[in-house]
Amino acid sequence: MSDIQSYGLIESYLKGELSGEVLNDFERQLQTSPDLLKEVQVHRELYSHFNDEIPDYQLDNDKQKTLEAYVESEEVKSFQTKLKAAKKNAEAELDVSKQPAKIRSLRWAYAAAASVLLLIAGYFLLNQNNTIQPENLYASVSTHESLSITEMGSTEVTLQDIEKHFKQKNYNEVLNVLPDFLDNLPETDKNYYNLLRTKGISELETNQYEKALQTFDRLAKSDALIAEQGEWYMVLSYLKKGDIQKFKAALATYIKQNHSYKKEEAINLQKKARKLPSE
């Protein structure tokens, strides 16, 4: 039986989850195996330091196999060897016959340290597999709508160029033309706010985060029909920038305001955000 399987049985025993022949067999092992008995005592002692709560974690088959493989790896075995050597050296410095309490405490400390380190290693190993990086999460939700131009008139050629570059994701080319074009376009123009959004997206995709946030904030505070898209893209800007704290706060606010634009996407994004690295 591997260490992780043994720990699982001990936890089930302490939580009162064993029954029938499994329980009887485990209790027989306790009577015949001093090592197992000590392990149970160590686990009970560890739990007492966590407000008498027994950890309740479940692993699916793939994670179980991953953790078992890690426990049996050369890296862990090498660490265990060094830990046992350190324990042996410490015991050699003590008079076993005269200081039994110290020896017992030492052994408990050793077992507790080994157990805790193993659990910590497993925790980080498993959570590393579950973690998603901000740039990857952004890539999964950053589907930009095509630029929609109405009544192009005399500016048709310029707008067609902007639309073509944006569709081809040539964002630097868009920014070579669009800012000056917007400066000469009145805000009352039917294309103005669509173009303002396009400018913000192009700035975001070229990692000009502060400019993008300013552009989207301007859109969000406007009276345009697409104003809430400015708020949505501010959420995405913080995500792509890697500012997880501001991203989560902005996303929570966006959902709370019950915007119709990307409503379902926002809720799903909040669920996925739980897998982002710790702040």
d(CA 177, CA 195): 11
Q: State the pLDDT at residue 99.
A: 47
Verify that 151 and 115 share a domain, yes or no.
no
Domain stop point among 100, 130, 160 = 130
| Residue 259 CA: distances (Å) to CA of 105, 190, 231, 236 | 60, 22, 9, 15
Verify that 147 and 265 share a domain, yes or no.
yes
Verify that 109 and 198 share a domain, yes or no.
no
Domain stop point among 96, 130, 164 = 130
CB burial of 235-258 (b: ≥16 within 10 Å; e: otherwise) equals bbbbbbbebbebbbebbeebeeee
Verify that 161 and 255 share a domain, yes or no.
yes
Supply the range of the domain harboring residue 171. 137-275
pLDDT digit of tens for each residue in the chain (279 aa)?
Answer: 555 557 678 878 877 788 888 888 888 888 888 888 888 777 776 665 554 444 444 555 555 555 566 666 676 677 667 666 765 665 565 444 444 444 444 455 555 555 555 555 555 555 555 678 899 899 988 888 877 666 555 456 678 888 889 999 999 999 999 999 999 999 998 889 999 999 999 999 999 999 999 999 999 999 999 999 999 999 999 999 999 999 999 999 999 999 999 999 999 999 999 889 876
Q: State the pLDDT at residue 179.
A: 92
Sign of CA dihedral 215, 218, 222, 228: positive
Verify that 152 and 110 share a domain, yes or no.
no
Contact (Cβ atoms closer than 8 angstroms) between residue 197 and residue 224? no
Verify that 143 and 191 share a domain, yes or no.
yes
Q: State the pLDDT at residue 87.
A: 59
Q: State the pLDDT at residue 241.
A: 95
Domain count, the chain: 2
Verify that 145 and 121 share a domain, yes or no.
no
Tokens of 92: 């050699």
Q: State the pLDDT at residue 122.
A: 56
Verify that 40 and 56 share a domain, yes or no.
yes
pTM: 0.55
Contact (Cβ atoms closer than 8 angstroms) between residue 231 and residue 213? no
Q: What is the CATH number of the domain that holds 151?
A: 1.25.40.10
For residue 213, the tally of other CB atoms under 10 A from its CB is: 20
Verify that 125 and 235 share a domain, yes or no.
no
Verify that 164 and 264 share a domain, yes or no.
yes
Verify that 147 and 268 share a domain, yes or no.
yes
Burial of 157 (0-12, 13-18, 19+ CB in 10 A): exposed
Domain stop point among 113, 130, 147 = 130
Q: State the pLDDT at residue 15.
A: 75
Verify that 191 and 226 share a domain, yes or no.
yes
Q: Who's near 147: CB < 8 A, 6+ residues apart?
A: 162, 163, 166, 167, 194, 195, 198
Secondary structure (DSSP) of the chain? --HHHHHHHHHHHHTT---HHHHHHHHHHHHH-HHHHHHHHHHHHHHHTTTTPPP-----HHHHHHHHHHHTSHHHHHHHHHHHHHHHHHHHTS-TTT-HHHHHHHHHHHHHHHHHHHHHHHHHHHHHHH---HHHHHHHH--PPPP-----GGGHHHHHHHHHHHHTT-HHHHHHHHHHHHHTS-TTSTTHHHHHHHHHHHHHHTT-HHHHHHHHHHHHTS--TTHHHHHHHHHHHHHHHT-HHHHHHHHHHHHHTT-STTHHHHHHHHHHGGGSPP-
